Amino acid sequence: MRLWDWFFKLTVYFKVWSTKAPSTIVFVGTYSGDGSSDSKGIYAFTLDETKSTLIPLGLAAATTNASYVLVHPSHKYLYAVNEQDDGMVSSFEIDSTKPGRLTLINQQSSRGSGPCYLSTNRVGEYIFVANYNNGTVAVLPINSNDGSIKQSTGFDQQTGSSIDPIRQTSAHAHCILLDKREQFALSADLGSDQIYHYRFFPNNGSILRTSITKAARPGDGPRHIIFNSNQKYVYLMNELKSTITVFNYFPNMQSIQIVSTLPENFTAMNTGAELLLHPITEKYLYASNRGHDSIAVFSVDNNTGFLTLIQHISVQGHTPRNFNISPNGKFLIVANQDSNNVVLFTIDENTGKLTSTGSIVEVSKPTCVKYLVS
């Protein structure tokens, strides 16, 4: 073989190798149990984007009721709530040599009962945690050297109640996250139909309550909040009413639209769960329905923030507590808590609509999906 032929083959080889798709690991948090078929903690999967398939990697780490998990911005660590009466947050090191393996670093009190949500600031210096059972929120510093969690530096006890005689007799903090400028944090309180505003002080990790925004309607049951990228609009999932409220954020948080996540003819029991904007275009918003067991897809008017329903699609399971969109915006993975399965969908880049890939994996009581792209 001539020298030129060898050179050509080597060039093609290295070109193929260098353009190989990045490896995507998916971590799934669960409710755990003692039975042989119950989950034992956090599970890992490989997302094969070429074949649109999820490949199980097994148990990543044994831990109790890791109902919400979060990958650190550095991709070196993973954090998980331990949703129990004496709430904890666990930190894990992500094994860089064994895909999907986690090693416990330490645990720290969540300063409440039933922690259900985690977020961080952009550089990963602090974890924000919401405790559902007793309506508290806390800020926990992260050790930059080893990813361990320190004792809380910020804390607030939310208060109040609303009209639902079962779900709204006391405060139930369901999320807390910083806005895009990281000057303020918002927390949705399902029990009191309120959104708490906090000033965040990054120099010492403290928070100061500054104001409260009422839910658009009594009995809404605020659950999760997201911002669009320019921070002009806030989208709020109302768990109890299965609606999304669109707010202006500045100068004052004010409701400008309320849309149902359900079809008009659906009258059975339903609760709203997760909502996310498309991570690349923000032209679409996705929301999950527990009862109708669907994902509702909306188009987003980026000028007004308004939502228009364009699709309902079955999640091929029951109780889609959580879902997440891959960082490249091509895939959506749903965690169906009560049918014990995780389902993979593709996202049409032109329409935003979802299509099932047929890839369904069994996991007992899955509750949260997070991606790690390497």
Q: What is the pLDDT of residue 374?
A: 73
Q: Cα separation of 53 and 356, whole Å?
A: 11
Q: What is the pLDDT of residue 15?
A: 36
Residue with tokens 């080889």: 13
Both tokens assigned to 222: 């605020």
- Strand pairing partners for 48? 53
- Radius of gyration (C-alpha) of the chain in whole angstroms: 21
DSSP readout, 7-51?
Answer: HHHHHHHHHHHHTPPPPEEEEEEE-B-SSTTSB-EEEEEEEETTT
- Residue type (1 letter), 242: S
Q: What is the pLDDT of residue 22?
A: 59
Q: What is the pLDDT of residue 128?
A: 99
Q: What is the pLDDT of residue 373?
A: 85
**Can you list the residues of the chain whose pLDDT is less than 50?**
1-20
Please provide residue 204's backbone torsions phi and psi, each rounded to the nearest 5 degrees: -135, 5
Give the burial class of 36: count Cβ atoms within 10 A of its Cβ; 0-12 exposed, 13-18 middle, 19 or more buried: exposed
SS3 5: helix
Q: Cα separation of 358 and 132, whole Å?
A: 34
Those residues whose C-beta lies under 8 Å from the C-beta of residue 34, and which sit 6 or more positions away, are: none
Q: Cα separation of 179 and 196, whole Å?
A: 13
- Residue type (1 letter), 301: D
Residue with tokens 């965040």: 200
